[in-house]
Structure 1
């Protein structure tokens, strides 16, 4: 059996990144783990210091259960270098190259309106973007159906 993975993003402000990545991926807030009714109740069970807040983290999941879970955790330092690992957001790959490129551009525009920024455009292939805290990701066509 293959291992399942979760992805974790460091953040200065986890709630801001959570809103962006829910918009980008179509993810939802992951429910609190059993037996806890809320994330706040779960967080309180760790008896952390008063400086720690449930808002220092966000936990997202694919509502269909297919994609990896995404944890977004507050860290004291800001981003200082290029990501060694990045996400690729794949839009539908069907259609002509021009149709696929139009969908890539439309998705990049949508994510720009949600707080992302374009870092580079590789015409006809992909767009390099950054989330609101500068984490790089690409928007590209997915495999044809």
Structure 2
């Protein structure tokens, strides 16, 4: 066993498509997440969560909004999640549940937290910008607003700043 932060990881030789998730179910993204945590490429085909992760098993991200079902429907379409009333859920079980709760006040300041929607992973330069622009066009058709393109600066790759249908910022990254 090896330790990465507070997680203990055990190597198994099972098919990576049958990796157990820490909170139940089986999914290939579990392999990707843990493989990203440890970059040793050995003969083991599957890396599994096996130790304590404090007491956290699932994460829900909650958004304050005026129209929860409308915003949940938008984000379901953006992420390919299942729409469930005022929430949306990753059908693979790998991503967090997003929940949208009605609040009386409107949004008045920039978000302190935002989602990065990863569409350009592994791409650089013009190829990355083309992938971002393509996804931006799809999201604008769903009601998102394009804010600005941030070009690669030597530290960060290019990304597109956008707003959802209630003005919450997010990035296409």
Sort the TM-score into its range (normalised by shorter chain): 0.7 to 0.9
The 1:95–1:122 alpha-carbon spacing in structure 2 relative to 1, beyond 3 Å, is closer
User: Which residue among 14, 17, 26 is the counterpart of 2:71?
Assistant: 17
Contact residue 69 and residue 87 of structure 2 kept, 8 A: no
Cα deviation for residue 29 of structure 1 reads: 2.6
**What RMSD, in angstroms, separates the aligned Cα atoms of the two structures?**
1.6
3-state SS of paired residue (1:77): coil
| Inter-partner Cα distance in structure 1 for 2:124 and 2:68 | 38
Cα deviation for residue 97 of structure 1 reads: 2.6
Residue number in structure 1 paired with 2:7:
none
3-state SS of paired residue (1:91): coil
| Inter-partner Cα distance in structure 2 for 1:117 and 1:106 | 14
- Using the size of structure 1 for normalisation, the TM-score is 0.72
Is 2:168 the counterpart of 1:135? yes
Q: Which moved more, 1:91-100 or 1:112-121?
A: 91-100
Residue number in structure 2 paired with 1:74:
102
Structure 1 segments unaligned to the other structure (5+ residues): 31-56, 141-145
Cα deviation for residue 23 of structure 1 reads: 1.0
Cα deviation for residue 96 of structure 1 reads: 4.8
Aligned residues between the structures: 114
| Inter-partner Cα distance in structure 2 for 1:29 and 1:116 | 17
**Larger RCO: Structure 1 or Structure 2 (Cα < 8 Å, ≥ 6 residues apart)?**
1
* Bigger Rg, structure 1 or 2: 2
Residue number in structure 1 paired with 2:114:
86
| Inter-partner Cα distance in structure 2 for 1:24 and 1:59 | 13
| Inter-partner Cα distance in structure 2 for 1:96 and 1:133 | 30
Structure 2 segments unaligned to the other structure (5+ residues): 1-51, 153-157
